[in-house]
């Protein structure tokens, strides 16, 4: 939670989760909010909860994201911009989190990278 965007994203996620659980289709099945707890209502209280309880799920991605925007450090061929002869082939190139375990996606990235490297040889 180093930037305002990080803070807004986390508190926004908690607020969205609350809205989802208030919907008629699921609300009858919810006895009470236990995490972070209904008593935590203000922006500061939600942010404090995130700071104290936030943790990685040990599948970090996107630290060397692939793409064509200014924040992308890897091109569509997995080549590191500005440094010849180096490709990044792991979850760090994923510009967005996948909705499942990252293992399968990383295997596909590696297979594609192997093909690109062989084709370039």
**Which one from 18, 40, 59, 87 is the annotated catalytic residue?**
59
Distance CA 90, CA 109 (A): 7
DSSP state of 67: S
Tell me whether residue 68 is exposed, middle or buried, using C-beta atoms within 10 angstroms of its C-beta: 0 to 12, 13 to 18, 19 or more: exposed
59 in catalytic set: yes
Domain boundaries, the chain: 4-53, 58-120
Over residues 3-24, the pLDDT tens digits come to 999 999 999 999 999 999 999 9
What confidence tens digit (pLDDT) does each residue in 81-104 have? 998 899 999 999 999 988 888 999
């Amino acid at each position: 939670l180093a930037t305002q965007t990080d803070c807004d994203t986390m508190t926004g996620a908690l607020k969205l989760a609350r809205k989802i659980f208030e919907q008629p289709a699921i609300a009858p099945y919810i006895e009470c909010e236990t995490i972070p707890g209904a008593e935590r209502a203000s922006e500061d209280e939600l942010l404090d909860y995130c700071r104290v309880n936030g943790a990685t799920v040990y599948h970090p991605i996107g630290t060397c994201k692939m793409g064509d925007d200014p924040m992308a450090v890897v091109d569509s061929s997995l080549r590191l911009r500005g440094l010849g002869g180096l490709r990044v082939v792991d979850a760090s190139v994923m510009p967005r989190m996948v909705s499942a375990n990252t293992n399968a996606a990383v295997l596909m990235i590696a297979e594609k990278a192997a093909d690109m490297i062989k084709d370039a040889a």
